[in-house]
Amino acid sequence: MRSALPIAAAAIAVVVLIVLLYPQFTSSDQAANQPPAPTTSTVAAAQLQQAVADYYALLPDRTDEAWTRLSPAMQAQGKEQYEKAWNDVKDLVVTAAPQATNVDTVTIGVEYTVESRGRLRETRQLHLITDGGRVLVDSDQVLTSERVNGKNGDKKDSDGEKDDKKRGEEGKGGN
């Protein structure tokens, strides 16, 4: 009977080890047989900011190249409409460098002239996605917009035209 005791103890130890280790072996086997879970690629803020800076550097003159930096959802709105919108824009300058405000959002300040509306200063917010390793503009929303005088960027208030006339009259007075 004494010789059976060590054998029984060894058998119990083997069963305990199997029970404890079995879940680890099966989970790693299952993980190996399953396709990898999709991963979300987080792009560094600097990459997002650079993508926005590069995009606006192309506008308004190089719309063909800027078009390639838009997501399929943005391109679905139509290239003709996109080019028409940028056709009236002149003299675009970045007034506030792109700043990442979220993991996929960047704001930028721009100033430009539209023949029908004059000089505008805007803060824009762009939502970006990655596609095949490329950062693409998925939306471009105007957060703030104001008319400004000329290239010096003075704000144009509701009395702007009156002020301009006053300045003209003062200049005529020979001061």
Q: Is the pLDDT of residue 31 over 80?
A: no
Q: At residue 153, does pLDDT exceed 90?
A: no
Provide the pLDDT for residue 40. Answer: 38
Would the pLDDT of 68 be above 60? yes
Q: Which residue has the higher pLDDT, 11 or 101?
A: 101
11: pLDDT strictly greater than 90? no
Which residue is it, tokens 């391109």? Answer: 75
Q: What is the pLDDT at residue 167? A: 32
The per-residue b/e assignment along 138-173, b for 16 or more CB within 10 angstroms, e otherwise, is: bebeeeeeeebeeeeeeebeeeeeeeeeeeeeeeee
Residue 123 near residue 92 (C-beta atoms within 8 A): no
Q: Give 115's pLDDT tier (boundaries 50, 70, 90).
A: confident
- The pLDDT of 102-115, averaged and rounded, is 96
For 73, the token pair is 């959802």
pLDDT of residue 155: 57
Q: In this structure, what are the phi and psi dihedrals at residue 19, rounded to the nearest 5 degrees?
A: -65, -40
* Structural domain boundaries in the chain: 45-155
Domain 45-155, what fold? Answer: Nuclear Transport Factor 2; Chain: A, (3.10.450)
Of how many residues is the chain composed?
175
Residue 103 in contact with residue 84, Cβ under 8 Å? no
Query: 3-state DSSP call for residue 156?
Result: coil
Residue in 120, 140, 143, 142 with CA at minimum distance from that of residue 52: 140
Is residue 33's pLDDT more than 90? no
Q: Which two tokens stand for residue 141?
A: 């929303």
Give the mean model confidence (pLDDT) for residues 43-59: 95
DSSP code, position 34: S
Segment 103-109 shows an average pLDDT of: 97
